[in-house]
Chains A and B, each alone.
Chain A
Amino acid sequence: MFNLPPPDILFQLSLNGALGGAMYGVAAVGLSLIFGTMRLIFLAQGAMIILAAYFVRALFYGLGIDPFLSLLIVVPVGLGVGWLIYQGLFRKAAAEEDRNVSLLIAVGLMFLVQNLMTVVWGGNTAGVVTSYTASGIELFGVRTSFTRSMGFLIALAGTGLVMLFLRKTIVGKAVRAASEDMDSAMLMGISPHRVNAIAFAIGIALAGAAGVAVATTFPFNPFAGFIFSLKALVALALGGIGNVTGALAGGILLGLIEAYVQYFISGGWTNAIAYGVFLLVLMFKPEGLFSRPYKKA
């Protein structure tokens, strides 16, 4: 059916797909954490990523801070904002039996953030252009964009740090215990509000890191975030809901699928096929593609 392209094009395609997909992955890791403890589909994650991208842009053009250096500002701010969002908006709803309430607060937050961005920065497409935006680097004999590779590194580092936190620290273990079984975790003396707030703080900090990657790579506008949320959800399902490394791998896989569909079929069908895979995985392998039964990451 298809003529297989020469290996170097195939490799280029895979590399681009994987690098782009890592950004879905890092958004999905944040979603995964928040979903893990609160069972909440945090639809505003994409809007928070775009907000971070605008913040990075403002830092760059206003204060001349290099976008990648601004990670040092954006990530701690993200931690604080995430903690505040939980305490201010979700704390009461988290105790509520009806989870529509939290879902709707997330939707309201998404509307609010999107449109505040439009009011402050206008609805037009914006971007960050630095001296190295157009430069490329040589990777395994294939040229690729420098900023995309940096985005990939940010995604890897972010996920790695979250994994270390979840595995090595006592607080991280509490978060993991709460996502596996909140009732038993509470019996062990883990405060649900504390783990929820931590999950939110880390989730929004990851949105900040993803914002840096987005700002340096793509042009963006206030409403671009929702697609990001949807893609992150697909990545999350591919990797297995609640599985942090799986979420990153799911994002990379989604990036690969998109790149191949664009090349072999047509750009117009990318989304349909991505969501089709999403539905099939949900139905036939809801624990995700990368998890073995009875073993959680």
Chain B
Amino acid sequence: MSRALQWIAIVVVAALALLPFLPGAVDAYYFSFLFFVFLYAVMAQSWNLVAGYGGQISLGSHAFFGLGAYTTAILWSGNYLWGSLYDAYPGIYYFDPVTMLLGGLVAALAAVLIGLPLLSKLHGDYFALGTLGFGEIVKVLFVNGGDFTGGAFGIVAPASSFDTLRPHYWVGLGLMVGTALAIRALMRSRYGLALIAVRDDEMAASANGIDILKVKVAAFAGSAFIAGVAGSLYTYYIFHVGPDSVFHLDWMLLPLMMTVVGGTGTLLGPILGALVMYAVFDLARIVVPDYHPVISGLTIILAMLFLPKGLTRLGVMRRLKSA
């Protein structure tokens, strides 16, 4: 990234971080809009890590998102973590970093367990199909999980903790910036180079001593971790976690779409894609409420027909990067 782009990024992030102090901002429509852009940008980064940089098209992001969301809701509503401290501090689970981290870790663990057999055996489309099947299995497991998962209804977390959208906004912004920085650092490390090498030519990478399976599984697990933490954040927003909401296929399809529209395998692509696509969807929802999913479908098709390489590879962006 060029210096000019770096300065733009710093100024934009600082402005976004200060926005909640603006009078009336918290109650404004654009505030929740921005929160969702952050959330989708994190999910898009998660998909971009394994598919864009790693070249392994995963169609199971919604499973990891849902695992993170459920982990948070289960720990919280069942008070599995803090015991008697919960009675003293009723707000202890609300935006608790340990609970959020565990949400990511559970998702990452599931990714390792399923990734080892899938990635050692399956390539390309077969891996994509396998992850799709995995997502459906996880969903059925949670529907049939009895009291532990709340069955088809799901789990309701103590919604009384909600006070303002500010913490959601800041945590969302922090996660978006944090994942972008982490992925940037990662892609500049030995590991990132190995990941790119595996994507571009597996045979050559293997011949140069890279453990292909290890690299792929690590990318898959890292992607799942990010998705799990995003799911955890969503629990704090929605409070009711059910199989049809957090395991909804949209949590895989929309981030995938945003990444491709923004530019796969680029750092800014997922963020730009999340902003543009979510704006299109939300605008359509407000302006033509009856037809908005039709407009969304049309937008995807048009974007793919005319911008198959993504927004970040447009001429304007290229000039900015080299400036």
Contacts and interface: CB of A to CB of B under 8 A. Distances in A.
A56 to B, nearest CB: 22
A279 B121 CA distance: 11
Given A92-B305, A112-B301, A104 B260 contact: yes
B124 to A, nearest CB: 8
Select the residue from B118, B129, B253 with max chain A CB neighbours within 10 A. B129
Nearest to A35: B125
B305 A93 contact: yes
B253 A107 contact: yes
Contact of A114 (B125, B134, B293, B309): B293
Nearest to A107: B253
Given A107-B253, A268-B140, 19 more contacts: A35-B125, A100-B260, A100-B264, A104-B300, A108-B297, A109-B301, A111-B296, A115-B296, A118-B293, A119-B290, A119-B294, A234-B133, A241-B125, A269-B144, A272-B140, A278-B133, A282-B121, A283-B118, A286-B121
B292 to A, nearest CB: 8
Contacts of A156: none
Contacts of A271: 136-137, 140
Contacts of A104: 256-257, 260, 300, 304
Contacts of A112: 294, 297-298, 301
B308 A96 contact: yes
Given A100-B264, A101-B260, A234-B133, A286 B122 contact: yes
Closest 3 CB pairs of A and B: A108-B300, A112-B297, A111-B297
Select the residue from A35, A118, A226 with max chain B CB neighbours within 10 A. A118
Contacts of B276: none
Contacts of A150: none
A272 B304 contact: no
Contacts of A109: 297, 301
Contact of B301 (A96, A98, A105): A105
Given A119-B294, A230-B136, A278-B133, A93 B118 contact: no
A275 B294 contact: no
Interface in B111-150: 117-118, 121-122, 125-126, 128-130, 132-134, 136-137, 140-141, 143-144
9 contacts: A41-B125, A101-B308, A104-B260, A104-B300, A108-B299, A109-B301, A113-B297, A115-B297, A283-B122
A271 B138 CA distance: 10
Nearest to B292: A115
A257 interface: no
Contacts of B57: 100, 103
Interface in B244-298: 249, 253, 256-257, 260, 264, 290-291, 293-294, 296-298
Nearest to A271: B140
A275 B136 contact: yes
A275 B132 CA distance: 9
B137 A272 contact: yes
Given A101-B260, A108-B298, A89 B133 contact: no
Contact of B293 (A101, A115, A226): A115
A286 B126 contact: yes
Given A283-B118, A283-B130, A115 B294 contact: yes
Contact of A275 (B133, B304, B305): B133
A118 B118 CA distance: 37
A237 B293 contact: no
Interface of B: 51, 57, 117-118, 121-122, 125-126, 128-130, 132-134, 136-137, 140-141, 143-144, 249, 253, 256-257, 260, 264, 290-291, 293-294, 296-301, 304-305, 308-309
Contacts of A282: 121-122, 126, 129-130, 133
B165 to A, nearest CB: 28
A39 interface: yes
A110 interface: yes
B132 to A, nearest CB: 7
B301 A108 contact: yes
A137 interface: no
Contact of A39 (B121, B125, B136, B294): B125
A233 B132 contact: yes
Contacts of A230: 132, 136
A116 interface: yes
Contacts of B137: 271-272, 275-276, 279
A237 B129 contact: yes
A115 to B, nearest CB: 4
Select the residue from B257, B294, B304 with max chain A CB neighbours within 10 A. B304
B301 A89 contact: yes
Contacts of B122: 282-283, 286
A93 B301 CA distance: 11
Contacts of A272: 136-137, 140-141, 144
A96 B51 CA distance: 17
B23 to A, nearest CB: 39
A41 B300 CA distance: 17
Select the residue from B130, B141, B143, B290 with max chain A CB neighbours within 10 A. B130
Interface string A36-60: 0001010000000000000000000
A276 B136 CA distance: 9
Nearest to A270: B140
Contacts of A268: 140, 143-144
A279 B133 contact: yes
B300 A98 contact: no
